[in-house]
Amino acid sequence: MRVAVIGSGSWGSAFARLLARRGHDVEVLALTREEAAQLQATRENPHFLPGVRLPQEIRFTGMEDADLAPAELIVYAVPTQAVREVARWVAPRRSGGALQLSLAKGYEIGSLKRPTQVIEEETGAGAAALSGPNHAEEVSKDMPSATVVACTDEAVAVELQSQITSDTFRVYTNDDVVGVEFCGAVKNPIAVAVGMSDGLGFGDNSRASLITRSVAEMTRLGMIQGAHIATFTGLAGIGDLIATCTSRHSRNRLAGELLARGASPAEVERQVGQVVEGLHTAVALHDLATRLDIEMPVTENVYQVLAGNRTPQECVAVLMGRTPKKERHDGV
């Protein structure tokens, strides 16, 4: 299969490597011609994926030089807030039969739309979503991982499953696109909250309590949007949540630690060196929860820190001072 991977960051590079190992004809589209030339020459991506050799079979091209017409699969490996611009660029260049796959995890600020919704809106064609506990650092080193491909068209999901699954990367299918994309988005600000807890010096009890109560608020907001409850206990739900909240690879968890130590959101992204999706998704989730009148205490407190309205220490007092209630509230 001829594949165009748009985005040469950590996940784009790791995913391209995975597909190349499967024998696909892979082209990575970098933002600039200069970046593409460097990747083509060195076969390394030291800023985003240090220590990983990228196969000779992968071609690197700047977006200004790209020809999407031959691509049978177009992969969006870009930050959520860039998906619309990229999809708008793709629209006149893709062939009508090309499949589309989003790796983005978040909600578009303003429209509050999921990545596949944005892609369909701009290209006029549907897209599948891939999500799960898939840190690029581990996938690129062939460590066993599993993921979910979600699509409303089962035939497309099965086709992508067969093209992506490898001896180290197991793919499951799911028709709950809403739930899979929602889980992929909301786990990021939750990981920021867990990182703040770690940064304040709290222990395992605090971390476990935050993660568990976050599952409850994830489920509340997700189900009202039409997500299936089973998705929250799957790879895209609790699986990705555990990985993002506990891993040393997690940019979102690290961001929370830095916030707890007094860094501003802008300083956090500078120190992390990559886009931290949770900082942007927290804003979108605040707007979404407000619009739907759903209580999201953990992610709301992350938003309040980012807005400069509370310190991480004050968030602890707010969360611990909430009115006591039943654990199962409104069925969740």
**Per-residue pLDDT at 327:** 86
Strands 59-62 and 2-6: unpaired
d(CA 203, CA 209): 10
Predicted local confidence at residue 329, as pLDDT: 59
Q: Is the pLDDT of residue 330 over 60?
A: no
Q: What percent of the chain has pLDDT over 90?
A: 96
Model confidence at 325, in pLDDT bands (50, 70, 90)? confident
| Residues marked as catalytic | 187
pLDDT, the chain, mean: 96
Residues facing residue 75 across a β-bridge? 5, 101
Kind of pairing, strands 44-45 and 49-53? antiparallel
Q: Percent of the chain scored above 70 by pLDDT?
A: 99
List Cα–Cα distances, 320 to 209, 293, 306, in angstroms: 11, 21, 20
pLDDT in tens, 242-299: 999 999 999 999 999 999 999 999 999 999 988 899 999 999 999 999 999 999 999 9
CA dist., res. 113 & res. 108, Å (int)? 5
Q: What's the pLDDT score for residue 332?
A: 58
Domains identified in the chain and CATH numbers = 2-175 (3.40.50.720), 182-320 (1.10.1040.10)
Predicted model pTM: 0.94
Each residue of 109-148: pLDDT tens digit? 999 999 999 999 999 999 999 999 999 999 999 999 999 9
Pairing state of beta strands 73-76 and 99-102?
parallel
What are the DSSP E strand ranges found in the chain?
Answer: 2-6, 25-30, 44-45, 49-53, 59-62, 73-76, 99-102, 128-131, 145-150, 169-174
* Neighbouring C-beta atoms of residue 165, cutoff 10 Å: 17
